[in-house]
C-alpha cells in the first residue's frame, strides 16, 4: 500500500475514535436538557418537595449540597495548602517525607464508598456527630485532600526557583519568601484546584450516603449537626425509590446538579485564564 | 588595606563532586576582585558559599572557615549574613512586582513601613544604580517591562536598598548587550567606593576593565591571584596565561 493511503486510513480511524469519545458527552447533555428543562422553574428551585417528592421543588437538596460543599472545602483547603507548602518548600527528602507522599498517593486511590464507611465509623459513630452536615463534610474533605495537595504542590512548583533565591539573597527569611513571593504567585493554580475539587465534592454520592444525606427532611438545616438532603443522593432516591415519579423532575434534578458543577468548572477555567494573562513573568 | 572576607581551607562538595579544593583567599575592603576561569571551575559555587545560598542545596557540604570581618559566616543567621552580603545573579531576576516594590522589597520585609522612608530608600538605590532617570516616571509599572540591561540595574538597586557591605556579582552581564554591559560596569566601578565587590565573570576582558585584583580558578582550585595588571601582563602560571590568551576555556 502506498504511504499516502496508510496516512489517510490512520487519520480516519483516529478521527472516528475521537468522535466516539465525545458522543456520550453530547448524548448525556442533550437527553438531560431535553427531558429536564421543562421542570426547571423558579418554584422548582425555591420550594420544598411535596406529595412524597412527586411534585414541588428541590430547595432542601440544593441548600444541603451547598452547605456540605462549603463546610468540606473550608476544612480541606487550608489543611491541603499548608501540607503542600510543607512538602514542597520545607520537607527534606527523607523516609518520613516519602511515607507521607506515598500515603497521599494511596489516599487518592481509595474508592469513595470506602470513605463513606470510614466517615460512618469515625465521625458519625465514634465521634458521635451523628448523620450530619459536619460528618459528611469531614468525610468529603478527607477524600479531597490528596487532590488539593497535589494541585497546590503543582502550583507552588510552578513558581520559578530564581524568585526564591532572589528573595532569600536579600536577607529575607524563608517564611517571608513563601508568604510574599511564592504564595501570591501560586494562588491562581491553588484556586483552580480548589474550585475543581468543589465541583467534585458537589457531585459525590457514596461518601455522604451514610454520613450526611437524608431521604427526606421536612425543614431546611439549622446547624451543621443536622441531616440534610443532597442533590446527588436525592437524584438517586427519586430515580429508584419512588414509584410514579414524574420523569421531568428526575431529569430536572440532574440538570440542576450538572449546571452547578459545570458552572463551577467554568469559573475555574475563567480564573485560570484571567491570571494567566496577568502573569508577570 | 582592610581584610573584608577571609576564606580558610575551604572545601565544597555537592554529593560526590568536590567542587572547591582547599581554597585560601582574602578579599579586601572596597576593591573589585574578579574571579575568572572556565566552566566548572567552582567560581559560582565560591560566590554562593559567601552568602550561604548553597545551603539550599541538600547535597551541599563544606569544610573550612569563611569570615566576614572577624565573624564566622556559618555561625551567623543566614538572613543577617545575606543582608550584609548582597548578590546580583547572572540573569536579571525581577520579582513579579512593580519597579518600586522590587527595590522596596527587602526594606519592607525588614519591617520598614514608613512610606516616606521607603520612597527615600528606593530613590537613593535607583540613583546609585544609575537607573533613576530612566524609571522615575513609571515606578509603578511591572518590572518585567524594563529592558534586560535595565532589569539588571534594577536588581543591583534592589541589592543596594538592603544596604549591604559586600556585593557578589555572578556573571552579571552574560545576558546583556555591549551598551548595557558598559553601564553595569560603570556602576560597579562607582559602587566600589562604598562596597566590596566580588565579580565572577566569563568575560576575561571585563575582568581586566573593572577589577583591582583578579583570581584565576581552575577545576575548583585557585591557581593564581594578584593585581589585575600583573595577572594580565605577566601571569606566573602557564595555565593562567593559556586561559587569558584564549588557548582554552
Q: How confident is the model at residue A56 (pLDDT cuts 50, 70, 90)?
A: confident
Q: Which of B49, B82, B171 has the highest number of chain A CBs within 10 A, making it the mutation to test binding with A? A: B82
In angstroms, the CA A155 to CA A150 distance is 9
Tell me whether A65 touches chain B (CB under 8 Å).
no
Domain positions in chain B are: 3-91+159-244
Q: How far is CA A70 from CA A122, A145, A224, B158, B247, in A?
A: 21, 15, 11, 42, 69
* Residues A100-129 pLDDT 10s: 989 988 888 889 999 999 999 999 999 989
Characterise B133 by phi-psi region: left (phi > 0), alpha (psi -120 to 50), beta (else). Answer: alpha
Beta-bridge mates of residue B28: B3
Q: Which of B82, B109, B143 sits opposite A169 (nearest CB)?
A: B82
CATH class in words for A42-278: mainly alpha
In angstroms, the CA A265 to CA A155 distance is 18
Looking at the complex, report in whole angstroms how far the Cα of residue A280 sits from the nearest Cα belonging to chain B: 5
Number of Cβ within a 10 Å radius of residue A118: 17
Asked if A170 and B86 come within 8 Å (Cβ–Cβ), the reply is yes
A181 chain-B contacts, CB cut-off 8 A: 95-96
* Residues B8-56 pLDDT 10s: 999 999 999 999 999 999 999 999 999 999 888 999 999 999 999 999 8
Q: Is the pLDDT of residue A281 over 70?
A: no
Residues of chain B with a CB closer than 8 angstroms to some CB in chain A: 51, 53, 56, 58, 78-84, 86-87, 89, 91, 93, 95-97, 105-106, 109-110, 142-144, 155, 158-159, 162
* Residues B204-243 pLDDT 10s: 889 999 999 999 999 999 999 999 999 988 888 889 988 8
Asked if A165 and B56 come within 8 Å (Cβ–Cβ), the reply is yes
Q: Output the pLDDT for position B31.
A: 93
Mean pLDDT score of chain B, rounded to an integer? Answer: 91
Nearest CA in chain A to B111: A172
Cα–Cα nearest to A64, from A16, A2, A136: A136
Domain positions in chain A are: 3-39, 42-278
Q: How confident is the model at residue A279 (pLDDT cuts 50, 70, 90)?
A: low
Q: How confident is the model at residue B151 (pLDDT cuts 50, 70, 90)?
A: very high
- Can you tell me which residue has the cell 438517586? A236
Strand, coil or helix: B121: helix
| Prediction pTM value | 0.83
Looking at the complex, report in whole angstroms how far the Cα of residue B87 sits from the nearest Cα belonging to chain A: 6
A93 chain-B contacts, CB cut-off 8 A: 58
CATH fold of the domain at B3-91+159-244: Rossmann fold (3.40.50)
Q: Taking a C-beta distance cutoff of 8 angstroms, is the pair B197, B165 a contact?
A: no
The DSSP-derived string for B60-100 is: EEEEEEEEETTEEGGGS-HHHHHHHEEEE-SS----SSBHH
The fraction of chain A above a pLDDT of 90, given in percent, is: 48
Q: Which of B54, B68, B98, B109 has the highest number of chain A CBs within 10 A, making it the mutation to test binding with A? A: B109
Q: Is the pLDDT of residue A149 over 90?
A: yes
Tell me whether A128 touches chain B (CB under 8 Å).
no
Cα–Cα nearest to B175, from B96, B94, B87, B92: B92
Nearest CA in chain A to B48: A169
Amino acid at each position: 500500500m502506498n504511504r499516502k493511503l496508510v496516512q489517510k486510513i490512520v487519520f480516519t480511524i483516529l478521527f472516528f475514535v475521537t468522535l466516539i469519545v465525545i458522543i456520550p458527552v453530547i448524548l448525556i447533555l442533550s437527553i438531560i436538557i431535553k427531558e429536564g428543562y421543562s421542570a426547571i422553574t423558579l418554584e422548582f428551585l425555591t420550594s420544598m418537595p411535596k406529595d412524597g417528592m412527586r411534585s414541588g421543588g428541590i430547595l432542601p437538596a440544593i441548600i444541603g449540597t451547598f452547605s456540605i460543599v462549603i463546610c468540606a472545602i473550608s476544612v480541606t483547603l487550608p489543611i491541603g495548602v499548608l501540607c503542600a507548602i510543607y512538602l514542597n518548600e520545607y520537607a527534606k527528602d527523607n523516609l518520613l517525607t516519602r511515607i507521607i507522599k506515598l500515603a497521599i498517593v494511596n489516599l487518592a486511590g481509595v474508592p469513595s464508598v470506602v470513605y463513606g464507611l470510614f466517615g460512618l465509623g469515625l465521625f458519625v459513630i465514634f465521634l458521635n456527630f451523628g448523620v450530619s452536615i459536619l460528618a459528611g463534610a469531614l468525610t468529603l474533605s478527607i477524600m479531597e485532600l490528596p487532590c488539593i495537595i497535589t494541585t497546590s504542590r503543582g502550583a507552588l512548583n510552578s513558581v520559578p526557583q530564581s524568585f526564591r533565591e532572589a528573595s532569600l539573597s536579600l536577607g529575607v527569611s524563608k517564611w517571608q519568601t513563601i508568604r510574599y513571593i511564592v504564595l501570591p504567585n501560586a494562588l491562581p493554580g491553588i484556586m483552580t484546584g480548589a474550585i475543581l475539587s468543589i465541583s467534585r465534592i458537589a457531585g459525590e454520592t457514596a461518601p455522604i450516603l451514610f454520613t450526611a444525606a437524608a431521604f427526606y427532611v421536612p425543614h431546611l438545616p439549622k446547624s451543621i449537626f443536622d441531616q440534610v438532603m443532597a442533590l446527588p443522593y436525592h437524584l438517586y432516591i427519586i430515580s429508584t425509590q419512588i414509584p410514579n415519579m414524574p420523569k421531568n423532575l428526575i431529569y430536572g434534578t440532574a440538570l440542576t446538579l450538572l449546571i452547578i458543577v459545570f458552572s463551577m468548572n467554568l469559573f475555574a477555567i475563567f480564573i485560570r485564564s484571567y491570571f494567566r494573562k496577568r502573569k508577570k513573568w | 588595606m582592610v581584610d573584608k572576607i577571609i576564606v580558610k581551607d575551604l572545601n565544597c562538595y555537592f554529593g560526590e563532586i568536590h567542587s572547591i579544593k582547599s581554597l585560601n583567599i582574602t578579599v579586601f575592603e572596597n576593591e573589585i576582585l574578579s574571579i575568572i576561569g572556565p566552566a566548572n571551575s567552582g567560581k559560582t559555587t565560591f560566590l554562593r558559599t559567601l552568602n550561604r545560598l548553597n545551603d539550599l542545596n541538600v547535597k551541599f557540604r563544606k569544610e573550612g572557615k569563611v569570615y566576614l570581618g572577624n565573624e564566622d559566616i556559618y555561625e551567623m543567621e543566614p538572613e543577617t549574613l545575606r543582608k550584609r552580603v548582597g548578590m546580583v545573579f547572572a540573569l536579571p531576576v525581577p520579582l513579579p512586582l512593580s519597579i518600586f516594590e522590587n527595590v522596596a522589597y527587602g526594606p519592607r520585609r525588614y519591617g520598614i513601613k514608613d512610606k516616606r522612608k521607603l520612597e527615600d530608600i528606593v530613590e537613593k538605590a535607583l540613583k546609585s544604580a544609575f537607573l533613576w532617570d530612566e524609571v522615575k516616571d513609571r515606578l509603578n509599572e511591572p518590572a518585567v517591562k524594563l529592558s534586560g540591561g535595565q532589569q539588571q540595574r534594577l536588581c543591583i538597586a534592589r541589592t543596594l536598598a538592603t544596604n549591604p557591605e559586600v556585593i557578589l556579582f555572578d556573571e552579571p552581564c552574560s545576558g546583556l548587550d555591549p551598551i548595557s554591559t558598559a553601564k553595569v560596569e560603570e556602576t560597579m566601578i562607582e559602587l566600589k567606593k562604598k562596597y566590596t565587590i566580588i565579580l565572577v565573570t566569563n568575560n576575561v576582558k571585563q575582568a581586566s576593565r573593572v577589577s583591582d585584583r583578579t583570581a584565576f580558578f581552575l577545576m575548583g582550585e585557585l591557581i593564581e591571584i594578584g593585581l589585575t595588571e600583573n595577572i594580565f601582563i605577566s601571569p606566573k602560571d602557564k595555565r593562567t596565561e593559556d586561559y587569558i590568551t584564549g588557548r582554552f576555556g
